Copies of this chain bind each other. A is one copy, B any other.
């Protein structure tokens, strides 16, 4: 529709330069940053048009919108960085609504002094994640805040998707007798961030599970349309996610501890640090609540996908007016899975 800016952007020292306040001020310096960093990494016709927004084709079906601010520290961690995380996190929120993501927007809050090389690396990672997901970043915004008023870079992404008729996943649809699945081991992201931040030198390094799950979810919904709830257990981990669903649906849950997949390195690090893997954030896992009759089909579809190979049936929805999430422990006892007030770890995602 529109052609790229014929404007010749000024040079930018990407190797040694730093973000300064002019880069967010709407003038030529901002244009240079957009041209040399964002358009190089994220470019597509809608973004290249250089407008304050994107004009896109009509969407055939119900519209889904999800938004997420990403403030993770450190900006780079084993398995990813804030760039790919900002793509994955929002795509997963759209997928958790049972929708196919179509477009992303990205807004950057940069802190004065951020190395342009770091920003370029983050933008490149974002572009790679968006291309792999098949979802372009069609519009964006850049602001710069003075030194000491930011955290290097914060990225808010918003995802727009389409949900086809007949899909009815919703946090309020869990019913007694439904089965609870998880698409893979839990807690990898939270522990990866914690270890990177505290420079804990574990024997087995823990790598974030950050990944885009909309392809996995599409396969799942195709095989098992009887899915009632989808949710990605990010902040607060599995325990917050399941408690939230229990409250929204007005049900209880009983988990089987032995069935919940946790990597040995994550379990060991949690043991060492006095943390519960159930409270640890994931960024590439989905919790699925599905009618019992379809659980086998759902599990099969998940395990056939590279991001769901370690999927597991971890428990069952039960009738419980108190909305308790309980867990049958390995030792035969039963304990409450608490919904914590908070999380001891800031800037986890």
Flag whether A271 is at the interface (Cβ < 8 A): no
Q: Check A201 for interface membership: any CB of B closer than 8 A.
A: no
Given A21-B342, A341-B29, A63 contacting B56 (CB threshold 8 A): yes
User: Which listed residue (B109, B112, B339) contacts A154, Cβ 8 A?
Assistant: B109
List the B side residues contacting A306 at CB < 8 Å.
none
Copies in the complex: 2
- Residue numbers in B under 8 Å from A58 (CB-CB): 59-63
Spot the interface stretch: A77-85, A116-124, A228-236, A325-333.
A228-236
Contact of A105 among B5, B21, B66, B140 (CB under 8 A): B66
Measured CB to CB, the nearest residue on chain B to A162 is: B58
| A111 CB to nearest B CB, Å | 9
Q: Are A67 and B106 in contact (CB under 8 A)?
A: yes
Digitize A310-349: 1 where CB-to-B-CB distance is under 8 Å, 0 elsewhere: 0000000000000000000000000000011111011110
Q: With a CB–CB cut-off of 8 A, which chain B residues contact A59?
A: 58-59, 63
A22 within 8 A of B: yes
The distance from the CB of A286 to the nearest CB of chain B, in whole angstroms, is: 11
Give every chain B residue within 8 A of A247 (Cβ-Cβ).
5-7
A341, chain B: closest CB distance, angstroms: 5
B51 touches A343 (CB 8 A): no
Question: Is the CB–CB distance between A170 and B51 below 8 Å?
Answer: yes
Task: Give the distance in Å from the alpha carbon of A240 to the alpha carbon of B234 in the complex.
Answer: 41
B51 touching A171 by the CB < 8 A rule? yes
Among B56, B158, B340, B345, the residue within 8 A (CB) of A67 is B158
Complex CA–CA separation, A63 to B71 (angstroms): 28
Considering only residues 71-108 of chain A, those with a C-beta below 8 Å from chain B are: 71, 93-94, 96-97, 99, 103, 105-108
Inter-chain contact B30/A342, CB cutoff 8 Å? yes
On whether the beta carbons of A96 and B25 are closer than 8 Å, the reply is no
**Docked complex Cα distance between A30 and B341 (Å):** 8
Tell me if B172 and A2 are in contact (CB < 8 A).
yes
**A residues contacting the other copy or chain, number (CB 8 A):** 96
Query: Please, how many angstroms separate the alpha-carbon atoms of A112 and B71 in the complex?
Result: 13
Report the separation of the CA atoms of residues A276 and B22 in the bound assembly, to the nearest whole angstrom. 17
Instruction: Say yes or no: B27 contacts A240, CB within 8 Å.
Output: yes
Task: Please state if A26 and B343 are interface contacts (CB–CB under 8 Å).
Answer: yes
**A38-79 vs B: 1/0 string, CB under 8 Å?**
000000000001111111111111111111111100000000
CB-nearest residue of chain B to A52: B93
Enumerate chain B residues within 8 angstroms of A248, measured Cβ to Cβ. 2, 5-7, 50
Min distance, Cβ A37 to any Cβ of chain B, angstroms = 16
Q: Is the CB of A27 within 8 A of B96?
A: no
Q: How far is the CB of A28 from chain B (nearest CB, A)?
A: 5
In the complex with contacts A27-B341, A51-B97, A150-B149, A2-B171 CB distance below 8 A:
yes
CB atoms of A347 and B150 under 8 A apart? no
Instruction: Give the residues in chain B near A56, CB-CB below 8 Å.
Output: 62-65
How many Å lie between the Cα of A216 and that of B7 in the bound state? 31
Residues of B within 8 A of A342 (CB): 20-23, 25-30
Apart from A25-B343, A55-B63, 11 more pairs, CB < 8 Å: A1-B170, A24-B235, A26-B234, A26-B236, A26-B342, A27-B343, A31-B244, A50-B248, A53-B99, A58-B61, A67-B106
